[in-house]
Amino acid sequence: GAGVSQTPSNKVTEKGKYVELRCDPISGHTALYWYRQSLGQGPEFLIYFQGTGAADDSGLPNDRFFAVRPEGSVSTLKIQRTERGDSAVYLCASSFYAGGGTDTQYFGPGTRLTVL
């Protein structure tokens, strides 16, 4: 079946602009995660949704970052007043949440964000 998809694959924007990154999880997956991967680093957790609600947003770096999942499927990560330090690959993952931290997370191909 279809995997996790993310759009756009690449986004170039100017400092101070607003951007939206979209994630379509695997159908039926209730858990959805956003991560950020900087060059040469492993992915870092940003936010986790269980259904429509953000169960944990402790990884969001500041209040310029916000994410929604209004119908419990597609999610949008929103970044206001972008800064050059926001440049990274933004990864989305989904899982069929069974609890206990044993779930396999399936990752999308990522959105490469470049802030000029």
Partner 1 sequence: GDSVTQMEGPVTLSEEAFLTINCTYTATGYPSLFWYVQYPGEGLQLLLKATKADDKGSNKGFEATYRKETTSFHLEKGSVQVSDSAVYFCALSDPGGSQGNLIFGKGTKLSVKP
Token output for 69: 């999942």
Tell me how crowded residue 94 is: count the other CB atoms within 10 A of its CB: 26
- How open is the CA angle 69-52-85, to the nearest 5 degrees? 40
Closest separation in Å from C-beta 97 to partner 1: 7
Residues 4-33 that bind partner 1 (CB under 8 A): 4, 31, 33
Closest separation in Å from C-beta 14 to partner 1: 27
Tell me how crowded residue 41 is: count the other CB atoms within 10 A of its CB: 10
- Residues forming contacts to partner 1 in the complex (CB under 8 A) are 4, 31, 33, 35, 40-45, 48, 50, 55-56, 59, 91, 93, 95, 97, 99-110
